[in-house]
A = this chain, B = another copy of it.
Amino acid sequence: VSLIEPLTADLLATHPELADLPTPALVLHGPRVRHNIQQLADYAANVGIGIRPHTKTHKSREIARLQLDAGAIGITVAKISEAETISDPGEDVLLAYPPIGVRRAERLAHLAHDRTMRAAVDSLTAIEQVSAAARAAGSTIGLLVDFDIGLGRTGVQSAQETLELARAIDCAANVRLDGMMIYPGQVGSLPTEQADELKVIDSLVAEALDLWAKHGLAVTIISGGSTPTAYQSHFITHQTEIRPGTYLFNDMNYVRGGYCTLDDCAARVLATVISTARTGHIVLDAGSKTLAADRPSSPPDVGYGHIVEYPEAHIIRLNEEHGQADIRDCPRVPKVGDRVTVIPNHICPCVNLRDSIWWWDPGDSLRKIPVDARGRIE
């Protein structure tokens, strides 16, 4: 079985261990996952940038270890409960999320006793809460100033505001000014556009860092995004690390965005056709509780995921346990009981819907690995 051979019905037929899996099942093509991890590791080593993978995509300790073994400098999480579940003592963990709330700050400070904990902040409140919690716990937390460079989600809005937070961190007890966090989630998809946009972002970062330097503030970490921009990371010259999440699995949003091909998609949902009663339509046993209800992240709205064996089909409607596909454009039609594989629009919430996923090394083994941090939202 070739490294890039897709997980098709034909392939399934030759692997009885898959043909017998209860559906719907999420199957990882092991060689493809390893390839995706290594390919980005090679690029990052080549351009001299660290990878701090966002573990939200897989929520798995085992897969995080694969990324660390491939040279990742640490891991990223969004919620403190993910850090508690995914990370080990001695590791370097970035909470790329405002640690707001007394309980959240306390748990962050507690973890900092035996591992390097960092968090991104965009308010004085966050700095105060983290500092107070770290003082009470007797630990130290590294902070990054969250700078909004265009997405408009979290992050302060100007270089001047980054300076104010950087100075506040510098003055607060039991926290350490580690650097700046950006997330270029708004950047377009064409490589040439990306390069131009990333250069603009780089100059915004430079402006802020110059201001910091004028006030005697030197930092070591500039943490950036993202799977779509991963292979263009060298255009943000100040970046020291990137936080891609989806790159090791990929999904239809990234195929349609032009960031990867179908063959790059390592995570696929094995589903069964449960109804063909209505002509021109089929119903799969994979609905929004299996695939997640995410529509395509960019137009056109072609429905929910891609059926590998029936590429002309459109999954036009998801109910909780029903995936309804229009197959009128398909030259052949499946029958009740047939199995198909679906690449979801957005793989991260799809993984988060289940307790375990199947790691498949074709011709070798199929084994269940736990989604350790599934549902860890606090």
Contacts and interface: CB of A to CB of B under 8 A. Distances in A.
Interface in A291-330: 292-295, 317, 319-322, 324
Contact of A349 (B129, B155, B289, B354): B289
A336 interface: yes
Contact of A24 (B97, B336, B355, B378): B378
Contact of A321 (B272, B285, B377): B377
Number of copies: 2
A203 interface: no
Given A288-B349, A353-B352, A278 B375 contact: no
Contacts of A324: 153
Contacts of A126: 336
Interface stretch (A6-14, A31-39, A98-106): A98-106
A275 interface: yes
B157 A56 contact: no
B152 A378 contact: no
A136 to B, nearest CB: 16
A348 interface: yes
A85 interface: no
A116 interface: no
Interface of A: 20, 22-25, 56, 78-79, 97-98, 100-101, 103-104, 122-123, 125-126, 129, 146, 148, 152-157, 161, 272-279, 281, 283, 285-286, 288-290, 292-295, 317, 319-322, 324, 335-337, 348-349, 352-355, 374-375, 377-378
Given A56-B321, A320-B352, 17 more contacts: A22-B101, A24-B378, A97-B274, A98-B283, A98-B336, A100-B336, A100-B337, A101-B285, A153-B324, A156-B277, A293-B294, A320-B349, A353-B353, A353-B375, A354-B375, A354-B377, A374-B375
